[in-house]
């Protein structure tokens, strides 16, 4: 079978385990010869995969092609075409996850078979995806490595988390503000009641009400101490008894002395 090893894709994760593994285009410098991939070819690859009965292996450095021991790094569970890209949903092994995380491997390299034949019927089926490899030697070098993509994705996640945290802080602050306002109102109600009682007990003049409220709200402890030590207020009589006692008597003393 004629095989085209297209090392042309970074580990470009699309979300939900989907990775870009091939694109449409033409290549002239491959050791196996020139080749092109159209969107029709990508659709053919997806169709052949869906008609198969096995998952496609993701190996290391195309070891599956060499007949040597070829442990799996992951398994392709689904394929689909989006725009000019072929995407694979990959289920990674634990080891491969760590290697990708540690940047030990940074690219995906698909092995495509052109003019493949159905293994059972022998009928031609067009382009077929044989396997995909983790590699650090990509044929197609125009895409950035996964490290840059991961960093960008990580920043995006951090931004989303930050926005979520800011929203939580905002809600918490709104709750705090509401409780603070309620507490202030309760304190004012309690202070007014104490002032009312103090006026009734004659420890405050009615004219002192505004002053006492400000005192109670700014220094509750000091106000409590003030009320504790306050003496009952002595009311000044409205009538001037002294003035009344000095008022001339209606009787004329002179007249009395003269016997008038």
Predicted confidence (pLDDT) per residue in 39-53, tens digit: 999 999 999 999 988
- Region 108-128: mean pLDDT is 90
- pLDDT (tens digit, 9 = 90+) per residue, 2-36? 455 444 455 656 555 888 888 888 878 777 778 88
Residue 18: which of 77, 70, 89, 99 has the closest Cα? 89
SS3 content of the chain, % helix, strand, coil (to 5): 45, 25, 30
Q: Please tell me the total count of domains within the chain.
A: 2
Residue 21 is part of which domain span? Answer: 3-143
68 domain-assigned: yes
Both 29 and 120 in a single domain? yes
Both 128 and 16 in a single domain? yes
181 domain-assigned: yes
Higher pLDDT, 142 or 116: 116
- Strand 56-60 with 124-135, pairing: parallel
246 domain-assigned: no
Higher pLDDT, 68 or 77: 77
Q: List the structure tokens of 194.
A: 């104490």
Both 191 and 109 in a single domain? no
Both 160 and 214 in a single domain? yes
Cβ(93)–Cβ(74) below 8 Å: yes
Scanning the structure block, which residue is given the tokens 């960008």?
152
Cβ(188)–Cβ(217) below 8 Å: yes
Q: Please, which residues have CB within 8 angstroms of residue 58's CB and are 6 or more apart in sequence? A: 72, 73, 74, 75, 76, 90, 92, 96, 108, 131, 132, 133, 134
- Report helix, strand or coil for 216: helix
What count of other Cβ atoms lies within 10 Å of the Cβ of residue 61? Answer: 16
- Report helix, strand or coil for 200: helix
């Amino acid at each position: 079978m004629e095989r085209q090893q297209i090392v042309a894709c970074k580990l470009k994760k699309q979300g939900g385990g989907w990775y870009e593994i091939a694109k449409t285009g033409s290549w002239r410098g491959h050791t196996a010869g020139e080749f092109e991939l159209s969107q029709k070819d990508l659709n053919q690859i997806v169709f052949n995969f869906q008609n198969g009965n096995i998952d496609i292996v993701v190996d290391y450095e195309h070891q599956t092609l060499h007949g040597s021991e070829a442990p799996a790094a992951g398994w392709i569970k689904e394929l689909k075409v989006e725009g000019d890209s072929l995407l694979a949903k990959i289920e990674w092994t634990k080891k491969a996850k760590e290697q990708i995380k540690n940047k030990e491997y940074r690219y995906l390299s698909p092995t495509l078979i052109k003019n493949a034949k159905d293994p059972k019927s022998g009928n031609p089926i067009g382009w077929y995806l044989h396997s995909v490899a983790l590699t650090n030697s990509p044929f197609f070098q125009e895409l950035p490595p996964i490290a840059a993509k991961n960093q960008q994705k990580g920043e995006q996640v951090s931004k989303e988390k930050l926005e979520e945290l800011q929203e939580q802080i905002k809600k918490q602050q709104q709750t705090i503000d509401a409780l603070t306002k309620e507490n202030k109102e309760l304190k004012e109600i309690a202070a007014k009641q104490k002032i009312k009682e103090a006026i009734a007990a004659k420890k405050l003049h009615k004219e002192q009400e505004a002053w006492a409220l400000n005192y109670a709200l700014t220094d509750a402890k000091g106000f409590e101490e003030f009320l504790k030590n306050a003496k009952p207020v002595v009311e000044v009589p409205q009538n001037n008894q002294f003035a009344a006692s000095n008022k001339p008597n209606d009787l004329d003393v002179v007249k009395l002395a003269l016997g008038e």
